[in-house]
Amino acid sequence: AQKITQTQPGMFVQEKEAVTLDCTYDTSDPSYGLFWYKQPSSGEMIFLIYQGSYDQQNATEGRYSLNFQKARKSANLVISASQLGDSAMYFCAMREIQGAQKLVFGQGTRLTINP
Amino acid sequence: DGGITQSPKYLFRKEGQNVTLSCEQNLNHDAMYWYRQDPGQGLRLIYYSQIVNDFQKGDIAEGYSVSREKKESFPLTVTSAQKNPTAFYLCASIISTGAMNTEAFFGQGTRLTVV
């Protein structure tokens, strides 16, 4: 069954440090996409980065990179040089391409950046 | 500008009433999704639709109903059968049911409160 697991309910990081947010997934579909979203206190969902299951290289978008380890079924988000504005909830999500094509989310990680 | 619009932003419902949340997109996206989010929690899938006149139940469909009569519209009705409807509701859309490299776009959300 399609499932996303985020095991870190909360994380506290000093400003300017790098941070890794964990995400593992489960699927039997060989074709799938993995997403990371940021949700500030306003509630809006901000798209950060995408990784396709057939992509050979890890995705990067500015300070965000996705550490994709297919054999381990993990898709960790790495934020380099964290900023105070990075404080928010972060969600990992997956969408199967061939199966039910649901877009399912993990429980999220609340990231707090300390000055 | 293309986007996805949810209305209203805030909604108050008396117990026993049905209410309908609007979700409209002008992105020409095929797939649309409804999620429920409780405070500090992740997004749980209520219903999703990949094509006009067709939709599937998500993980928490009981007490909710949807329709997809037009490609751009996917309204959600919260019925009186939903025992605890107070929550934040998010609508999302994605461009194509078969596409790999895609971003899911979100509306700004509707905050529903039962009074």
Tokens of B24: 């409209």
pLDDT in tens, B23-37: 999 999 999 999 999
Question: Is A50 within 8 Å of chain B by CB?
Answer: yes
| Most confidently predicted of A28-32, A66-70, B92-96, B98-102 | A66-70
Contact flag B109-A97 (C-beta cutoff 8 Å): no
Percent of chain A, pLDDT > 90? 86
Distance from CA of B76 to the nearest CA of A (A): 17
Does residue B98 surpass a pLDDT of 70?
no
What is the reported pLDDT for B102?
A: 74
A108 vs B42: CA distance, rounded Å: 6
| Pairing assessment for the beta strands B64-66 and B76-78 based on DSSP bridges | antiparallel
Beta bridge partners of B99: none
Residue B48 has pLDDT above 70, yes or no: yes
Compute the nearest-CA separation of A45 from chain B (Å): 6
Residue B91 pLDDT exceeds 90: yes
pLDDT in the model for residue A61: 94
A50/B109 CB distance under 8 A: no
> Cα A61 to chain center, whole Å?
12
Residue B53: CB atoms within 10 Å:
10
Give dist(CA A110, CA B10) in Å, integer.
24
Token pair for A38: 């940021």
Distance CA A61, CA A37 (A): 13
Q: Could you tell me how many helices (H) and strands (E) chain B has, helices first?
A: 0, 11
Residue of B nearest to A32 (CA): B100
Look at residue A73 and give its three-state secondary structure. Answer: coil
How far away is chain A from the Cα of B30, in angstroms, using its nearest Cα? Answer: 12
State whether B50 and A101 contact (CB < 8 Å).
Answer: yes
What tokens were used for B10?
């805030």
Give the mean model confidence (pLDDT) for residues B77-106: 86
SS3 state at A84: helix
DSSP secondary structure code for residue B67 in this structure: -
**Residues in contact with A42: Cβ distance below 8 Å, sequence separation at least 6, in sequence order:** none
Look at residue A38 and tell me whether its pLDDT is greater than 90.
yes
CB pair distance less than 8 Å for A47 and B103: yes
- What is residue B95's predicted lDDT score, i.e. its pLDDT? 83
pLDDT at B101 (0 to 100): 60
Least Cα separation, residue A33 to chain B (angstroms): 6
Query: CA-CA distance, B104 to A47, in Å (whole number)?
Result: 8
Fill in the DSSP letter of residue A72. T
Average pLDDT over residues B63-76: 97
- Residues in A closer than 8 angstroms to B50, CB to CB, are 101
Instruction: Tell me whether residues B33 and A103 touch, CB distance under 8 A.
Output: yes
Could you give the CA distance from residue B109 to residue B87 in angstroms, rounded to a whole number? 10
The verdict on A30 touching B (C-beta cutoff 8 Å) is no
pLDDT band at B100 (very low <50, low <70, confident <90, very high): low
- Average pLDDT estimate for A41-53: 94
